[in-house]
Amino acid sequence: MVVIGGGFAGLQAVRELRTAHAEVTLVDRRNFHLFQPLLYQVATGSLSPGEIAQPLRGILARQRNAKVLLAEVLAIDLPRRRVRLRRQPDGECGDLAYDSLVVAAGAAHSYFGHDPWAPHAPGLKTVEDALEIRQRILTAFEAAELETCPERRREWLTFTVVGDGPAGVELAGQIAEIARDTLRREFRAIDPAEAVILLVEASDRVLTAYDPGLSVKAVEALRRLGVTPLLNTRVVQVNGRSIYMKAGGGDVSEIAARTVIWAAGVSASRLAAALAQASGAALDQAGRITVKPDLTLPGFPEVSAVGDMVRVSDGASATLPIPGTASAAMQEGHHVAQALRLRLAGRAAKPFAYRDKGSLATIGRKAAVAQIHGVKLTGFPAWLAWLIIHLHFLMGGLQNQFIVLVRWTVSFVTHGRSSRLITASGPPPRPAATQAEPAAATGAVAATAGRQAGAGHGLMAAGERDRRPAGRAAGRRG
């Protein structure tokens, strides 16, 4: 059995097969499993990368029937049952044969057809993304301290997060805490609390996958922190100095902001399109392949696809409403492992049945929202539940769990962050704009956004995955 991708789904499948009479090969272009639900804490200086990542070989060291290959998948030959690999250490290519194949190649950022925005608005999917965002956030405060022009200083102290799923909400809340809590008294020329943090969303509420009442509570908590949600607002252009937005049917407005973070959408791995072309399976607008109810490809029962790159057919004409969470990915990984066991025993696999175990999003200190088995929590109870659940699922055993618990405890008591290091030399990359800027109202903060900001001021890994189809207008969540 070959498993492509060491994220939640792929790794769960491998571990579930530890007692099976099968040889399991895990292929990933990274040598570690990344706990993506806490990646935003690396981006905001609360944790270090090594505290939320664990080497795949270390995780599987005691599983004698499993081996790990550090390689990138170039192609999959379904009729011949071969996977074409490029070895990461030396770049040489070769084929890997399989009897059963699980593809869990994850997803990447989607800018809804506006890829030139990427250098100006990094997303958060990898460790490198997190470190770049951390550099941009911390460098912005340093640049503001050095700036003598009030207008340019406001540009550096304006932070915009696009997308209001859990990742966007958590990032905006953490930036607000950095500005109003962590950095207070550390600067002499500026007051970090004067920073403007904007959360831009094209729909009419934040956390649209949650109960509407929890969305309201989340907005209240964000406003208390000093975050200004800009709802019903669509991004139309991003460059190195400004973000252009259109609220409802109004005019395009410009907000001068040096730091823009993208949390608005994802698109499936390119392997999804390759599998769809080879098997005849359908693709959606986000590039996700439609798999059968048992998670296999049409016409190829030995091949399963799971995680962010798939949507699951209900056996008729619709698809199952499965959220893009770590829990769902792990359930899919468990299912394909059990299906292989059944096939080895000569029995047919059952359709995948998703169990909703709940959703959580943290906003700040003692502020979170959660819905768990029909129970809705807000504030401190939700925040405590979030801490316990994430510690429980953190990979790396007691060592990583203990280190993260200590980090959180010290941060809570001291209001500090242990990883506020700017490790890259020079300013954050800001290439010249590649598209013409639309006509817009000029000024540091345009009319509508300015008023709201003033009010708010007083391939290969899958994680807690904000799965958002990329078929909507720019800046809109799926």
User: What confidence tens digit (pLDDT) does each residue in 297-315 have?
Assistant: 999 999 999 999 999 999 8
Q: Per-residue confidence at 449, pLDDT binned at 50, 70, 90?
A: very low
Looking at residue 478, its pLDDT comes to 33
Q: Per-residue confidence at 317, pLDDT binned at 50, 70, 90?
A: confident
Higher pLDDT, 434 or 74: 74
Q: Is the pLDDT of residue 459 over 50?
A: no
Nearest residue to 200 via CA among 250, 253, 157, 264: 264
Alpha-carbon separation of residue 136 from 16, 46, 453 (angstroms): 40, 15, 21
Q: Is the pLDDT of residue 229 over 50?
A: yes
Of 170, 254, 332, 464, which one is the catalytic site residue?
Answer: 170
Indicate the SS3 state at residue 462. coil
Q: Per-residue confidence at 425, pLDDT binned at 50, 70, 90?
A: low
For residue 51, how far is the Cα from the chain centroid?
A: 17
Looking at residue 265, its pLDDT comes to 84
For tokens 């399991």, name the residue. Answer: 24
Q: In what order do the strands lie in the sheet with 367-372?
A: 359-364, 367-372, 375-378
Indicate the SS3 state at residue 51. helix
Looking at residue 448, its pLDDT comes to 37
Q: Average pLDDT in the 233-250 region?
A: 93
Q: Over pLDDT 90: what percentage of the chain?
A: 81
The domain ranges of the chain are 2-109+267-344
Indicate the SS3 state at residue 303. strand
Higher pLDDT, 433 or 422: 422
Q: What is the pLDDT of residues 53-86, one digit of tens each?
A: 999 999 999 999 999 999 999 999 999 999 999 9
Q: Per-residue confidence at 427, pLDDT binned at 50, 70, 90?
A: low
Nearest residue to 280 via CA among 259, 297, 263: 297
Q: Is the pLDDT of residue 24 over 90?
A: yes
Looking at residue 248, its pLDDT comes to 84
Looking at residue 103, its pLDDT comes to 98
Alpha helices in 300-393 (DSSP H): 326-344, 379-393
Looking at residue 424, its pLDDT comes to 73
Q: Average pLDDT in the 443-452 region?
A: 37
Q: Average pLDDT in the 392-420 region?
A: 89
CATH ID of 2-109+267-344, from 3.40.50.300, 3.40.50.720, 3.50.50.60, 3.40.50.2300: 3.50.50.60
Looking at residue 411, its pLDDT comes to 93
Q: Is the pLDDT of residue 190 over 70?
A: yes
Q: Average pLDDT in the 17-46 region?
A: 96
Looking at residue 64, its pLDDT comes to 96
Q: Is the pLDDT of residue 438 over 90?
A: no
Q: Is the pLDDT of residue 443 over 90?
A: no
Q: Over pLDDT 70: what percentage of the chain?
A: 88
Q: Is the pLDDT of residue 473 over 50?
A: no
Q: What is the mean pLDDT of the chain?
A: 88
Q: Please give the structure tokens belonging to residue 189.
A: 């020329």
Nearest residue to 182 via CA among 431, 469, 411, 476: 411
Q: Average pLDDT in the 404-433 region?
A: 79
For residue 298, how far is the Cα from the chain centroid?
A: 29
Looking at residue 250, its pLDDT comes to 85
Q: Please give the structure tokens belonging to residue 313.
A: 């057919």
- Of 98-102, 259-263, 388-392, 452-456, the one with minimum mean pLDDT is 452-456
Higher pLDDT, 209 or 448: 209
Q: Per-residue confidence at 223, pLDDT binned at 50, 70, 90?
A: very high
Mark 292-314 as b/e (b = at least 16 C-beta within 10 Å): bbbbbbbebebbbbbbbbbbbbe
Q: Average pLDDT in the 310-333 region?
A: 93
Looking at residue 143, its pLDDT comes to 97
Q: Is the pLDDT of residue 197 over 60?
A: yes
Clarify whether 170 is annotated catalytic.
Answer: yes
Q: What is the pLDDT of residues 128-170, one digit of tens each?
A: 999 999 999 999 999 999 999 999 999 999 999 999 899 999 9
Looking at residue 439, its pLDDT comes to 36
Using CA atoms, how far apart are residues 273 and 250, in angstroms rounded to an integer? 37
Q: Is the pLDDT of residue 356 over 50?
A: yes
Q: Please give the structure tokens belonging to residue 127.
A: 């460790």
Q: Average pLDDT in the 343-368 region?
A: 93
Q: Is the pLDDT of residue 428 over 90?
A: no
The answer to whether 43 and 134 have CB atoms below 8 angstroms apart is yes
Q: Please give the structure tokens belonging to residue 432.
A: 């010249």
